[in-house]
Amino acid sequence: MLGRTLREVSAALKQGQVTPTELCQRCLSLIKKTKFLNAYITVSEEVALKQAEESEKRYKKGLSLGDLDGIPVAVKDNFSTAGIETTCASNMLKGYVPPYNATVVQKLLDQGALLMGKTNLDEFAMGSGSTDGIFGPVKNPWSYSKQYREKRKQKSHGENEDSDWLITGGSSGGSAAAVSAFTCFAALGSDTGGSTRNPAAHCGVVGLKPSYGLVSRHGLIPLVNSMDVPGTLTRCVDDAATVLGILAGHDPKDSTTIQDPVKPFTLPSLTDVSKLCIGIPKEYLTPALSSEVRSLWSKAANLFESEGAKVIEVSLPHTSYSIVCYHVLCTSEVASNMARFDGLEYGHRCDTDVSTEAMYAATRREGFNDVKL
């Protein structure tokens, strides 16, 4: 049951094959069994079981709230969750309990989703390995697969098995691991420059970064305001479309969201691709591109061509500038956003009272890791 897609488990709930409480308990049990993955910072067991109980009552009355009613989900620990600690995997926010839900979290709850907990990440979502948060690294579930273990045995030379694990990628590694390990059916991540898509690729799940402005950032603790986007991690593309359809839309609390009403998202039928024209940017075929990626790219293009699609080379001449702009914006906005954690307004504050400057310095030294400093 835990390996099913959203569509399949939703149908099972509606048909009475499993109850929300049973589903919740199975996920909670698996979360405990896979604790060594370190995917979760906070497990909201009581909250999830209470939500499952309410969902069960709705199903008995035939009043399901939507496609996610009774389905376990997880949320990256940089999204605000009312009454549940939100740390950003940092000493700076350890113990912080928001008084409100992020818009995307609220939308999931409005659909009846069960919040299993908050997932691990790189501190303040700045990283690509999910290894530098204060709660320790997230371990890739595939590290413990039979295939990987057998492969490693053939190559190992007395290595410590406890240290023989793969990273999840980051910074949404906890969410990716949670979905990959079957402890939930979907999870929220955040994506600035690949932080949802990168761990999805590492963990064998589907990661989506929606277009900027399609999904509200309200309640997402910012890293780079100009690029941060709430992302989704699911088991398949159809599930990604389902979750995006729930999350997308204008939010009066976020002025950057699109103003036009968003129609519910459905996955289009691609049985006939003969009318598609697919462009391959020549600037992306760089010498640094690995032969494996290049081969898979060509394979995908050939597959579309064999089915009648038109595949052409296109040019995106400003690609090199976009990379420069990314680095400039990223570094400047990170510095700006981290500046607010000074020990005066909120977050961690040191005990030093020699001077304001000394308090600033000590607070930031104690609250941030070396990357942020």
Give the DSSP letter of residue 45: H
- Concatenate the DSSP letters of all residues of 293-346 into one string: HHHHHHHHHHHHHHTT-EEEEE--TTHHHHHHHHHHHHHHHHHHHHTT-SSSSS
Tokens for 41, please give them: 């910072």
CA angle in degrees (0–180, nearest 5) for 117-122-124: 85
Identified catalytic residue from 76, 107, 118, 139: 76
What are the distances in angstroms from CA 180 to CA 166, 192, 319? Answer: 13, 21, 33
- To the query of whether residue 76 is one of the catalytic residues in this protein, the response is yes
Identified catalytic residue from 44, 90, 195, 216: 195
What are the phi and psi torsion angles at 139 (to 5°)?
Answer: -100, 135
Residue 67 CA to residue 234 CA, distance in Å, equals 14
First to last CA, the chain: 45
* DSSP H helical ranges for the chain: 6-14, 20-33, 45-61, 103-110, 146-155, 173-180, 197-203, 237-247, 291-306, 319-338, 356-367
- To the query of whether residue 195 is one of the catalytic residues in this protein, the response is yes
Q: Do residues 70 and 114 make contact, with C-beta atoms less than 8 angstroms apart?
A: yes
Identified catalytic residue from 44, 55, 80, 171: 171
Q: Which residues contact 78 (CB under 8 A, 6 or more apart)?
A: 86, 88, 121, 124, 125, 190, 220, 221, 223
Q: What is the set of active-site residues?
A: 76, 171, 195
